[in-house]
Structure formats: structure tokens, C-alpha cells
Amino acid sequence: MHLDEVVQIEDFSNETLIALAQRLETSTTFQHLILREVEMDEIWRRVDTVIKAERERADTPEALAAVKALVRVHELVFEAHDLAAEGAPLEAAKRLREAMLLTPGG
């Protein structure tokens, strides 16, 4: 597990979220938490980009529900980021695990 370096974030899939949750759960230093925050920043940006694109073409109840779920993922990642900044990595990991239930395939 790469705790002392930023792991490249490719997406916000369940696999990505679980891997980051696991890194949070094993992060033990302030430096580790800063690195996890950087990773969450990237997930947040990726979710934000998809929300903007999906809002523009959401023209069915299903599409609107998908946008609403993405907005909740966005909120949970933001909460996780703040919890990590406050020194609560286990609570941050819980938020990411909650977000997994909302992502496609979750």
C-alpha cells in the first residue's frame, strides 16, 4: 500500500473509493492525511466534471436521479476530505464507503 505518496486517481469507481478508504484507514501520520486529501481532491474534481456534463443532458426522471446520486457522492467526498483534514481518517473512510453505494455498480 502506498501511504507515503499520492496514488494517481483515474476515476471514482467503487474500486477507487475502496482503495482510498483502505489507505485512509491505515494512514497514521499528518503527512499521510495530506496525501489522502490530495487524492480526494482529484475524485471531487472528477465527480464535479461528470455532474456538470450530466446536468446538461438530464431529460428523464432516471437521468435526474443519477445526477442527484452524483451530487450526493460529491458531498460525501467533500465531507471525507474535511474529516481527513480534521484528523479523523476512519470517519472519512466511512463517507467514501457510503459513496460507493451511490456510484454505478455500487
> CATH code at 37?
1.20.120
- Residue 52 neighbours by CB under 8 Å, 6+ apart: none
Q: Is the pLDDT of residue 106 over 60?
A: no
Per-residue model confidence as pLDDT tens digits over 34-87: 999 999 999 999 999 999 999 999 899 999 999 999 999 999 999 999 999 999
pTM given for the model: 0.91
Domain containing 61 equals 14-100
- pLDDT for 2 equals 80
Q: Which residue shows C-alpha cell 445526477?
A: 67
Quote the CA–CA distance of 29 and 50 in Å, as a whole number: 32
Quote the CA–CA distance of 43 and 37 in Å, as a whole number: 10
Instruction: Confirm whether 105 is domain-assigned.
Output: no
Q: Kindly state the cell numbers that stand for 80.
A: 471525507
Number of domains in the chain: 1
Residues in the chain: 106
Instruction: Confirm whether 8 is domain-assigned.
Output: no
Q: Is the pLDDT of residue 105 over 70?
A: no
Instruction: Confirm whether 3 is domain-assigned.
Output: no
Instruction: Confirm whether 51 is domain-assigned.
Output: yes
| Cβ–Cβ < 8 Å for 95, 77 | yes
| Cβ–Cβ < 8 Å for 7, 39 | yes
Per-residue model confidence as pLDDT tens digits over 9-26: 999 999 999 999 999 999
Instruction: Confirm whether 41 is domain-assigned.
Output: yes
Instruction: Confirm whether 5 is domain-assigned.
Output: no
